[in-house]
Copies of this chain bind each other. A is one copy, B any other.
Amino acid sequence: MNTFGHLLRLTTFGESHGPAVGGVLDGFPSGIEIQASLLETAMQRRRPDSPLSGSGRQESDQVEILSGIYQGISTGTPLAFLIRNTDARSSDYAAIENAFRPSHADDTYQAKYDFRDPMGGGRASARETAARVAAGAFATMFLQQASRIRIHAYTSQVGTVRLPGSVEPDWEKTYQYPSRCPHEETDREIQELLSRCRQEKDSIGGVVDCRISGLPKGLGQPLYDKLTARLAQAMMGLNAARGFEIGKGFAACSMKGSQHNDRWTADGKTEENICGGVRGGISTGEDLFFRVGFKPVASIGQEQYLLQQPGNRLVRQSIGGRHDVCCVPRAVCVVEAMTALALADFLLLDRSSTLLQHRPDSLLGGNR
């Protein structure tokens, strides 16, 4: 089940220390201009650009497109792409080849498959998100060329440092901040926190917020593929994701209906968009908000007990390899990528909902 989506289907492959990661994006419509610069920017945003957050692994992340385009335009056939692993260092992992690290997927993959690639977490490594980001870049080209949908994710919390609620984040500049928190003061605090964590050979969790504007009204598929359900699936499938909220999220649990119910405005919108852009699992046309919570990265430099195989012997050891102190800054662009893929799929699906093509301004062709 390495495939995401119904009409726009991303199938990814690749292990952390194998020859390459990559994917096939099937169902991508023809006629989309493939913009090399947009793809390159997306890949760069995922790279560690700071010694504070990053893992030290230096990958050029050059994306080779293998199919599906002709003279720079998509043909409607599968768009396959490849990212070579050039900085894999298997030697880092020799010591743990037969050991299960704490809170990693080493033992669960072993249990599931009775066999595994132990190098750098194999398929369970966040290295795989390089393929998601590349695919998300293609989906973004589609969204930009075929709709008004724009997606902005950003770091809203790392450890106990939170972006103040009173601050309006400057979404357009998110990627200018090393922490991906688009607020100068909070960004600096997060950097300091990450610096301390690195010194302590520790890691830390955090939260990514995402806001989507320009959504047409009517996206989402009843009942098991609601917009909420699909975004939740996409986000909870990310490495280290532990929580998902939409609109008011868990805060809504202690609210009353008279508070939480939106009030209509005379133009058919709402006064406060309390619902967060989705009603009945279907987009309202107003901005959509969601949040994803990430646990601290399991790989830390401190000595820990590993479970040596066979025999489950507890061995105290510090683990090599190059790991992020916090996955959140680099997760921001992955959240955007998966959101773009989900929304592009829903846009395509929505064309089949009704006999009438009654929404010329909101759907495909909307901005042309």
Contacts and interface: CB of A to CB of B under 8 A. Distances in A.
A12 B270 CA distance: 32
A260 B206 CA distance: 13
A124 interface: yes
A13 B135 CA distance: 15
Contacts of A34: none
Contacts of A23: 24
Interface in A219-264: 219-226, 228-237, 239, 241-250, 252-264
A195 interface: no
Number of copies: 4
A7 B118 CA distance: 25
Contacts of A365: 356-357
A124 B300 CA distance: 46
Interface stretch (A73-81, A170-178, A182-190): A73-81
Contacts of A56: none
Contact of A14 (B66, B100, B266): B66
A88 interface: no
Size bin of chain A's contact surface: 35 or more
A261 B103 contact: yes
A70 B2 contact: no
B263 A77 contact: no
A114 B31 contact: yes
Contacts of A128: 223
A215 to B, nearest CB: 11
Interface in A101-151: 102-105, 107-109, 111-119, 122-124, 128, 142, 145-146
A296 interface: yes
A295 B4 contact: no
Given A206-B253, A258-B302, A262-B103, A109 B243 contact: no
Contacts of A4: 224
Nearest to A247: B242
A359 B114 CA distance: 9
A290 to B, nearest CB: 10
Contacts of A229: 232-234, 236-237
Given A76-B113, A77-B222, A314 B266 contact: yes
A207 B249 CA distance: 11
Given A112-B219, A232-B236, 10 more contacts: A11-B78, A31-B113, A74-B115, A102-B262, A112-B220, A113-B353, A257-B297, A259-B296, A264-B307, A266-B312
